[in-house]
Amino acid sequence: MMRSTVIRLIIAFILLPPSIGLSARAPVSEATEACLGCHSSLHPGIVEEWQKSRHARVAPRDALREKPIARRISATDIPDRLKYVSVGCAECHTLRVEHHADAFIHNEVEIHVVVSPRDCAVCHVTEADEYAENIMAHARGNLVDNPVFQDLQLSIIGTPVMSDAGIRYEPADADTRAEACEYCHGTRLVHKGMETRNTDMGEMEFPRIDGWPNQGVGRINLDGSLGSCAACHTRHAFSIEAARKPYTCGECHVGPDVPAYKVYTASKHGNIFSAAGADWDFAAVPWTIGKDFTAPTCGACHMSLLVNTDGQTVVQRTHAMSDRLAWRIFGLPFSHPHPRRPETSIIRNRDGLPLPTDFDGTPASEFLIAPLEQETRNRTLQAVCLGCHGKAWVDGHWKRFENTLETTDRDILTATRLMEEIWARGYAQGLAQQASPFDEAIERTWCDSWLFYANTVRFASAMAGGGDFGVFADGRYQLSRRIRELADELALRKRLFPPPEPITRNGAPRRAADPGGRIALRR
């Protein structure tokens, strides 16, 4: 066995491409050499991708020699066993094994399958700490710990079952959840013991992990950490280029509920990226406005360290995302100031629901950032815009954007008041009747108005383009149509059915409908 492993090692290094040969790479540790000896033929896609990566070429010691503004790692104290060699298989998959429930002995070495953000933090400590305070890192918890969102999820991916009372929804199975909402939000990984598999090397023992595979942004890992760096820095290249290009963000932010990518591709910024992006330098650190790129991508606006051509810092790098976001504009009926904390399931509105606004749009201000913080974040993001645009242009854009928030919220208030009266008159069963507000056709009409169409209008405005997305392409046309359908449905049911006495907040009937009143909400 030892002799065959040595032979594989010799063959693997003979076959290394000249462009990334040993002279172009950092030294490879003996442990990683042993991994490559087998996996270069078993998993050539992984190995070849890694060999082209910066991890393969640059040892942490050399990365630390960069001047501070150009460094790609934020740790200052790298363990000696990692400092002088390339970041290879063993350097990632043997880190912190005592913290990983999936750790097991593989070819006499203790390794773990799932590499987590806390492993990456050995070199990228600031980035990992910032990401842990990011709404994305809490995306799974914010979904599964919020009963309102669980109602919505059940009505979409649950299994419809006929009963005497009509259709009821049974929870989706784990595999359906994993390839639906949890594909982006993240699964919970659970170690379920070991299993024997037949391999090219004979029978071997491997951990069995529920929820795997997954690279969702809020994945709960086997060491207790949240998220997956591979969601943006894809395995096994882990490149900054991939994270900076809009295609990566488009994997989850494509719509119609979060239409950022499709709006971007139709915007002037997206137009310039499509026309000229092949000539941009997506690997430069820091990223120089005008020199390395000439129109922003998602990364430029929300994450990257940007400088001007004089080398002056425009915005600092961040993995918290929210540092440049004053408003949260998607996923909920009304826009609202950004949450103070990334765990949004802790938010409670006046009715006790885990939502950042009431059904009349009033914000749950205790849980949201204050106007002064909003202004600070606006200035930070506007600094990116001012790298290419004059102040009058930027101010004009912001004025239109905030007007769009006001007008779409006003539209959704009308839609919600119509829906509230439909619930109050008993034409549909909502929260006042201890039922889901999302599982009837008329409720879906209401849901569409904000989940798809108001959101799309807001994104079209926020991203300075994709004009048709503000009108006909999932925009104001469809929004106004859904409001009209709600109004017509309410009027039709009033004519067809003697209206029952509406339900009040305490469950007692009242004499007249109050289109402006709020429905009784369960706590």
pLDDT digits (tens, 9 = 90+) for 337-372: 999 999 999 999 999 999 999 999 999 999 999 999
Is residue 441 a part of any domain in this protein?
yes
Is residue 309 a part of any domain in this protein?
no
Instruction: Please give the Cα distance from 234 to 240 (Å, whole number).
Output: 9
Q: How much is the pLDDT for 519?
A: 35
Q: How much is the pLDDT for 361?
A: 96
- In percent, how much of the chain has pLDDT > 70? 90
Q: How much is the pLDDT for 262?
A: 94
Do 7 and 125 have their domain in common?
no
Domain boundary among 196, 222, 238: 238
Q: Tell how strand 159-163 and strand 166-170 pair up.
A: antiparallel
Question: Amino acid letter at 290?
Answer: G
Do 441 and 516 have their domain in common?
yes
Question: Is pLDDT at 517 greater than 50 in this prediction?
Answer: no
| Residue 163 β-bridge partners | 166
Is residue 510 a part of any domain in this protein?
yes
Phi, psi (5° rounding) for residue 201?
-100, 10
For residue 475, give the 3-state DSSP assignment. coil
- pTM recorded for the entire structure: 0.88
Is residue 142 a part of any domain in this protein?
yes
For residue 516, give the 3-state DSSP assignment. coil
* pLDDT tens, residue by residue, 269-289: 999 999 999 999 999 999 999
Do 126 and 212 have their domain in common?
yes
Is residue 275 a part of any domain in this protein?
no
Q: How much is the pLDDT for 513?
A: 39
Do 83 and 126 have their domain in common?
no
Domain boundary among 191, 215, 238: 238
More confidently predicted of 238 and 506: 238
Do 15 and 136 have their domain in common?
no
Do 13 and 140 have their domain in common?
no
- Contact between residue 469 and residue 261 where contact means Cβ atoms under 8 Å apart: no
Is residue 362 a part of any domain in this protein?
yes
Question: Is pLDDT at 174 greater than 60 in this prediction?
Answer: yes
Do 409 and 511 have their domain in common?
yes
* CA separation, residue 349 to residues 283, 292, 361 (Å): 44, 45, 10
Q: How much is the pLDDT for 350?
A: 96
Q: How much is the pLDDT for 79?
A: 95
Instruction: Please give the Cα distance from 31 to 38 (Å, whole number).
Output: 12
Do 32 and 175 have their domain in common?
no
In the Cβ-directed half-sphere of 229, how many Cα atoms lie within 13 Å? 25
Do 397 and 521 have their domain in common?
yes
Average pLDDT over residues 459-464: 93
Q: Which helix (H) or strand (E) holds 81?
A: helix 80-83
Question: Is pLDDT at 374 greater than 60 in this prediction?
Answer: yes
- Contact between residue 454 and residue 411 where contact means Cβ atoms under 8 Å apart: yes
Domain boundary among 59, 93, 127: 93
Confidence of residue 24 (pLDDT cuts 50, 70, 90): low
For residue 281, give the 3-state DSSP assignment. coil
Do 402 and 359 have their domain in common?
yes
Give how many domains the chain has, as a whole number: 3
- Mean pLDDT for the chain? 91
Instruction: Please give the Cα distance from 144 to 269 (Å, whole number).
Output: 35
Domain span at 162: 116-238
* pLDDT tens, residue by residue, 186-227: 999 999 999 999 998 899 999 999 999 999 999 999 999 999
Q: How much is the pLDDT for 297?
A: 97
Q: How much is the pLDDT for 200?
A: 86
Lowest model confidence (mean pLDDT) among 18-32, 43-57, 302-316: 18-32
Q: How much is the pLDDT for 19?
A: 36
Is residue 330 a part of any domain in this protein?
no
End-to-end CA distance of the chain: 64
Is residue 267 a part of any domain in this protein?
no
Do 164 and 203 have their domain in common?
yes
Question: Is pLDDT at 16 greater than 50 in this prediction?
Answer: no
Do 153 and 10 have their domain in common?
no
Nearest CA to 43 out of 94, 89, 93, 86 is that of 89
Phi, psi (5° rounding) for residue 146?
-110, 110
* pLDDT tens, residue by residue, 462-516: 998 777 999 999 999 999 999 999 999 999 999 998 755 665 555 444 443 333 3
Confidence of residue 261 (pLDDT cuts 50, 70, 90): very high
Question: Is pLDDT at 136 greater than 70 in this prediction?
Answer: yes
